[in-house]
Structure 1
Amino acid sequence: MPTGTPDACFSHPVTTFFIMSSVPLIPESAPFNTEQRAWLNGFLAGLLSRGESMTPGAPVPALQEKPRLLIAFGSQSGNAESLAKRLGKEASSRGFAARVAGLDSVQPSTLTAEQNVLVITSTWGEGDMPDNAESFWSGINQNGSSPTLGGLKYSVLALGDKNYGDTFCLAGRKLDERFAELGATRIHPRVDCDVDFDEPAKLWSEGVWKVLNESPATTTTAPAPAIAEVSIAAPAAEATGVAAYSKKNPFPAPLVTNLKLNGANSAKDTRHIAFSLEGSGLVYETGDALGVIPQNCPEVVAGIIATYELDPAALVPLPDGGEAPLQEALQKYYEVRNFLGRKPPQAVSAAEFVGSLRKLQPRLYSIASSQKAHPNEVHLCVGSVRYEQDGIAHGGVCSTFLADRLPLGEPTGVFVHTAKHFRVPANPDMPMIMVGPGTGIAPFRAFLEEREATGAKGKNWLFFGDQKRKHDFLYDEQIHQWLKDGHLTRLDTAFSRDQAEKVYVQDRMMQAASELWQWLEEGAHFYVCGDASRMAKDVDAALHMLIQQQGHKSADEATAYVADLKKTKRYARDVY
């Protein structure tokens, strides 16, 4: 219920609706569905924008049909969903009968009844659709039964990461092309966003509103080109004053713990990292991620400067405005990597060199702690990335920054990245099945701490795997204490290199197929965290197979069962 003094109110036997002077708000508790509530919001916004009287007893103006707008999202980590919900609020204030929905709740056959559709989607894995977009994508690609969308207007905002090369924004590109193939009219070019998506998304939405506001539902709109080149100016300096800590304004969190979790003879270097949040006011939920602002390796930066024969003190522009000496700019603000050391074919200036570089981006890590158990700290489980290529040593920018270069007590910028799709069950009595090999254990350590702190009674089952039990059993003591106390109901481990034949978590799932099926039938939530390209796909295949075998289902029926798990938020993945 909005606060403040209402200008007017409508009475209903169940609910009272308060209408503020700026934006009309229908509470979510009102007895309407999403589309009806959106229509009423748009209608009331339209009245207020014309200055119509809303005082009790005043004649009610004739109702005017508002153009319908569906904002559909495909989201894996929550970014696309957040953008869609933000856009939905703006759409309602602009007078549209807008509704926001995940693509898993949109039936392709119903698109023919829509007027305008805006699609916001991410891409994950090797160019795959997000989990909640898979069924929709399958539905609009069925030969002979895909809907004809000749009367539909649409536009697509695609989220991705250019580091993934040819698969950059592939899910959005596929949806954009398929809508066009089915006859829909593209009203604004698709915009493909890199990891820093706020400004491109804003420019896309401004372009969409311009077209929709100028084009009534009955007007024929000429198709827009497939993709727009987005030019982003440096943002203006923010007004002075204290702002909430965020990606644009990270909190300087001191490093308080850097503990190697692997044994001395392990081939891996996995760290338990803890930051102090004292005085930050930052709040996180289990399942969220922590954004960490890294710095490049000074030796790598020095090597680049020497190879290009540049002046380290030369002032160069920074990605978000302002300038700094080249050495500082390369260490703190631009993405760089080690290379073979060959001198470039022609001389470049320091400014020209940084002009070819991308902005240094924060890295996201699954949070490995519950704030209920650690009120003033946030924990991470970070695998240090180290490898050689062409005889040159390389290291992960942020993982080696945390492991090697950030001293204890020194701060670096952090912010909370919300992941609403990845949460412990809302019902504390529901069972949990967690599959998290390697650093994929991170959110499940947090889940188990959360359930312990809240006294949740639901059963907990953990699948964990790594290379060698003796050297790579991350959080071994804590996990076995939970097992001893009964908080962890069952533990299945797969240490791939402890025997001649490699064993993985998906193999342990199949060995426990009967009991795992029973847990699912009891309402268990199934979670996966870790490698997207192999592990997550193998686990998903095993899940389909055991459902088919234990549930006596056909392949199609097993697929439908898994799709229902995803739709009801009982199958969630945090994969990378």
Structure 2
Amino acid sequence: MIQALLLLLLLALAVIAALIQVEALPELSRAATRWWAAAGMLLTYLTWCFLLLSKRRRSQRGEHASPEPAGTTWLLAYASQTGTAVEIAQRSAAALRGAGQAVDLRDLGSVNTDDLRRASRALFVVATTGEGEAPESAQAFVHRVMAQAQPLPQLRSAVLALGDREYPQFCAFGHALQAWLQQAGSQVLQPLIEVDAGEPVALARWHTLLQSLAGKQAIELVATPRFERWTLEQRVVMNPGSLGLPIHLLRLRPTSAIAPWQPGAIATIKLQQDRARVRAWLEALVAQGADYSADQWQMLQRQAQLCRLPSTASCRGLPFADLIVLLLPLPQRNYSIASTAADGVIDLLLRETRTPQGELGLGAAWLCQACAIGETVDLHVRENRQFGLPPDSAPLILIGAGTGIAGLRALLRGRMQRGSRPNWLIFGERQRSRDALFDTELQAALQSGGLQHLDQVYSRDGGEIRHVQDLLAAQAQRLCQWIEQGAHLRICGSADTMGKAVDQQLQALLGSAALAALTAEGRCRKDVY
């Protein structure tokens, strides 16, 4: 039909072109040909209108069609250490499915070479842990799949890399995965997107990519997590007089009904600036001549409460609109929850941190000092099933130091509330007299049978055994027996010190291959920072 109309259009144009020469014809011939010219022009106009209408109808039919061949499925794989990547992947999958796209949501560790060869399109949401490494659950993918070159020319892919710029190897695993995909010949749908501690601008870029992949049908926003209001009910220093920096126990109570969480969960908190610091910053602006309206000063005060404060020197002489642009949102902070849902409260354990200038870090400044008792905090509970409870019948070995006992305490309380045993806790700090965190509670658990073994070590008290890894070596026989009986390991604490030393000691005692197998099976899990 379309082809015939095009031929008629061409014929009409030819008639009109020929009639341009009618000046050489007799008068009667000219009058007749004018009718032919009018008919040709009308035919041209009608044909053009029909073509435009047909094009519009085809466009409207295509608005709801998938841009991909029918029957294809998005492989959406995540590699998560603390649960953030899982959350974003789940929300991304829900958004694509809502637009009619088929999605196969998988843990990256379960993806093999054949899966990638069969796939034509894939999205990856991956975190980085340790010294630029893949999360534990993705180690199998790294060793089995990424260890060798793979031809994947049919695969279209994109990578969202999660990280924190405070760590030197920012988004390193995301970059390594992207480079490997490109070497495999995969077509990159979008340059790698880096997300710094939940940065909303980067997540908005990811949503834009998902929208383009879904075609013209609008998709739901890859929404940020829902934050609830929690009241700071109690704050106490757990280690007064310690050689180390103060450790604060914070207890928060929900202001409304909240969903239960599983032991191992993470609390994400929106930080605020210390009001005294904001006042000093505003006064410094006034002192150097800033002249804004009363409404602008009020807006600036509200914004400054939730943002990083630029140096006053960089703000000198700036119009109000330019100054507001300099106020970047404060990052969020993640903390291991030290209590269970059955407790009805969230307990957090925070050690004060100091900048090179001696100032408190952002999280400590707000939560350990500036936030008043009775004030509310914006908090989101994120499940972290990578660090969750093992089967009730499996033995559990808990290993940690310092504030790492927070996540271990939640796991132990969860096990005791379910009557699961046997349980063994290995814990280290500086001084028994100052740093025996939750000691009364742990001794009671030992007496009641909730704990079968409690081994503690304090590095500044002297003696041959000073660190957690030394305790492991001293208890090597029991450790191997528990592992043979199917024990799971949960390790929580500093990645650079305790985490690295414990990992090296476990490799020495169990063997690298055996430890790797425990990790691949999910029996060895870490929550290190």
Q: TM-score range by the shorter chain?
A: 0.7 to 0.9
**Structure 1 position 90, deviation (Å):** 4.3
Match of 2:417 in 1: 453
- CA displacement, residues 102-142 of structure 1 (integer Å, 9 cap, x when unaligned): 12112235422321121111122333221122332334453
Q: Does 1:268 align with 2:245?
A: yes
Q: State the partner residue of 2:171.
A: 169
1:295–1:547 Cα change, 3 Å: same
How far has the Cα of 1:403 moved from its partner?
2.4
1: CA distance, partners of 2:422 / 2:279: 53
Q: Residue 181 of structure 2 aligns with which residue?
A: 179
Letter in 1 for 2:413: E
Cα pair 1:104 1:136 within 8 Å, conserved: yes
| 1:501–1:109 Cα change, 3 Å | farther
Q: Which residue of 1 aligns with 2:359?
A: 394
Compute the displacement of 1:570 (Å).
Answer: 1.6
From the two aligned structures, give the one with the greater helix fraction.
Answer: 2
Matched, 1:67 2:69: no
| Partner of residue 110, structure 2 | 105
Match of 2:123 in 1: 118
Select the structure with the greater relative contact order (CA < 8 A; seq sep ≥ 6): 2
Number of the residue aligned with 1:277:
254
SS at structure 2 position matched to 1:360: coil
* CA distance in structure 1 between the aligned counterparts of 2:460 and 2:427, rounded to whole angstroms: 14
List alignment gaps of at least 5 residues for structure 2. Answer: 1-63
- Partners of 2:198 and 2:170 lie apart in 1 by 13
Counterpart amino acid of residue 522 in structure 2: K
Distance 1:432 1:311, change over 3 A: farther
Superposition deviation, residue 212 in structure 1: 7.0
Contact 2:193–2:202, Cα closer than 8 Å, also in 1:
yes
1:257 to 234, 239, 242: 234
Question: What secondary structure sits across from 2:182 in the alignment?
Answer: helix
Match of 2:438, as an amino acid? Y
Give 1:562's aligned residue: 515
How far is the alpha carbon of 1:70 from its aligned partner?
1.4
SS at match of 1:285: coil
| Alignment partner, residue 335 of structure 1 | 308
Contact 1:305 1:312 in 2 (8 A): no
In the alignment, is the contact (CA less than 8 A) between 2:123 and 2:158 conserved in 1? yes
Determine the C-alpha separation between the residues in 2 that align with 1:265 and 1:191. 43
Give 1:260 deviation, angstroms. 1.3
> Residue 150 of structure 2: SS of its match in structure 1?
coil
Residue identity matched to 1:429 = S
SS of structure 1 residue aligned to 2:496: coil
> 152-161 or 298-307: which moved more?
298-307
Task: Report the CA distance between 1:312 and its aligned residue.
Answer: 9.5
Tell me: CA distance 1:311–1:287, structure 2 relative to 1, closer, same or farther (3 Å). farther
SS in 1 for 2:385: coil
Distance change >3 Å, CA 276–CA 88, structure 1 → 2: closer
1:432: which partner in 2?
Answer: 396
CA distance in 2, matches of 1:313, 1:280: 43
Question: Does the 8 A contact of 1:287 with 1:367 survive in 2?
Answer: yes
Task: State the one-letter code of the partner of 2:322.
Answer: E
Q: Secondary structure at the match of 1:291?
A: strand
Q: Contact 2:109/2:139 (CA < 8 Å) preserved in 1?
A: yes
- Taking a change above 3 Å as real, the CA distance of residues 324 and 514 of structure 1, as seen in their structure-2 partners, is farther
Equivalent pairs: percent with the same residue?
Answer: 27
| AA partner of residue 449 (structure 1) | R
Alpha-carbon offset, residue 450 of structure 1: 1.7
Using the TM superposition, give the Cα deviation of residue 289 of structure 1 relative to its aligned residue in structure 2, in angstroms: 1.6
The 3 A distance-change label for structure 1 pair 265 and 542 is closer
Secondary structure (helix, strand or coil) at the match of 2:281 reads helix
Cα separation, partners in 2 of 1:254 and 1:524, compared to 1, 3 Å: same
In structure 2, relative to structure 1, the CA distance for the partners of 1:294 and 1:157 (3 Å cut) is closer
What is the distance in 2 between the residues matched to 1:471 and 1:80? 37
- Consecutive unaligned residues in structure 1, runs of 5 or more: 1-48, 51-63, 215-234, 239-245, 318-322, 549-557
How high is the TM-score relative to the length of structure 1? 0.72
Matched residue type, 1:329: Q
Change (3 A) 1:472 1:71: same
Contact 1:315 1:326 in 2 (8 A): no
Q: Is residue 316–residue 354 contact of structure 1 (8 Å, CA) maintained in 2?
A: no
Alignment counterpart, residue 318 of structure 2, candidates 329, 339, 348: 348
